[in-house]
Structure 1
Amino acid sequence: MTDFARAIFVRDGHVLLVKRAPHKAWYPNRWDLVGGHVEPGESVEAALIREAQEEVGLTPVRFHWVAELSEPPESGNPHARYHVYSVTEWDGGEPTLLGDEHTAMRWVTPAEASTLEGIARPEYSQVFRELVTV
């Protein structure tokens, strides 16, 4: 099983999405959540914090688990497990794209997220609606 940590940064009724770079093996050019692989010996929560720091320069300080998603069997990666957390408080100010994993970033409402062309996981829309009640 391959574990991934994913962060849904929530602010003022919006969620933060990042667009994966075209060179990424999984979901290239798709809107996704901040996050990545859990390294050997690392907890999911530690991976969540590390990935957020590496990708957008934010350090989650208040977060909670909201969902676990699996890849569909036809994806070619059926052993992937995504641990999704809602992040409602963080250090670091405004997010900034770091590195070359993403090409764009934006805050969207759950309604906007459900209509975005190229969202990595359609299940995200339901999770967003459950989290954001503004």
Structure 2
Amino acid sequence: MYELDAVPDAEQVWCVGAVVLDAQGRVFLQRRGPDRSLFPGCWDLVAGHVEPGETLREALAREITEETGWTLQRVVRDLGVVVYTGDDGVQRHEVSYVVEVGGDLTDPKLEWDKHTEYAWFGRAELPRILQNSPPFDQLLHDTVARALRP
């Protein structure tokens, strides 16, 4: 597991992803708006960049609250790190975690200027992540599939 309470290497761009599961074992995803500079219109985890001096845990908690209004209660497991280069040419290291959150899972407080919709994805919905998607969504698909494994 990546050390949650350590500040990651400032020489690299780091991101965190939160895999939130509901009582039915489905993963919460939100669709990025069409005007987003990275991955417009794609499904995404609750995720974002780690700010300078911020630990992975602090970034994870901040992103969860900013993007959904929920609060981080517990990190359940580490899903590993994925290294990718976005459309902007920047290489990112994203570490994703299955988490438990506090709050009403039926009423996320999305940042509607950044996201257009949300949905819960179970195993049966995995192919939907890949429909008309760029290579990044294969990474998202694989992360969600790992999270849904028993």
Structure 1: unaligned runs, 5 residues or longer: none
Contact 2:79–2:146 under 8 Å retained in 1: no
Task: Give the superposition deviation at 1:130.
Answer: 2.8
Structure 1 or 2: larger strand share?
1
Which residue in the other structure is 1:106 paired with? 119
Which residue in the other structure is 1:123 paired with? 139
1:56-95 aligned within 5 A: 56-63=68-75, 64-72=77-85, 75-87=87-99, 89-94=100-105, 95=108
Q: Aligned partners of 1:66, 1:44: CA distance in 2, in Å?
A: 14
TM-score w.r.t. the length of structure 2 is: 0.77
Equivalent residue of 1:122, what SS? helix
Contact 1:114–1:122 under 8 Å retained in 2: no
Task: Give the superposition deviation at 1:75.
Answer: 4.5
Partner letter of residue 89 of structure 2?
Answer: N
TM-score w.r.t. the length of structure 1 is: 0.86
Task: Could you list the structure 1 runs, at least 4 aligned residues long, displaced by more than 6 angstroms after superposition.
Answer: none
Task: Give the superposition deviation at 1:92.
Answer: 1.7
CA RMSD of aligned residues (A): 2.0
1:53-112 deviation line (CA, Å, top 9, x unaligned): 01111111111321201115x84435211111111x211212221352111111011331
Say whether residues 1:30 and 2:17 are aligned partners.
no
Say whether residues 1:40 and 2:52 are aligned partners.
yes
Contact 1:31–1:118 under 8 Å retained in 2: no
Equivalent residue of 1:121, what SS? helix
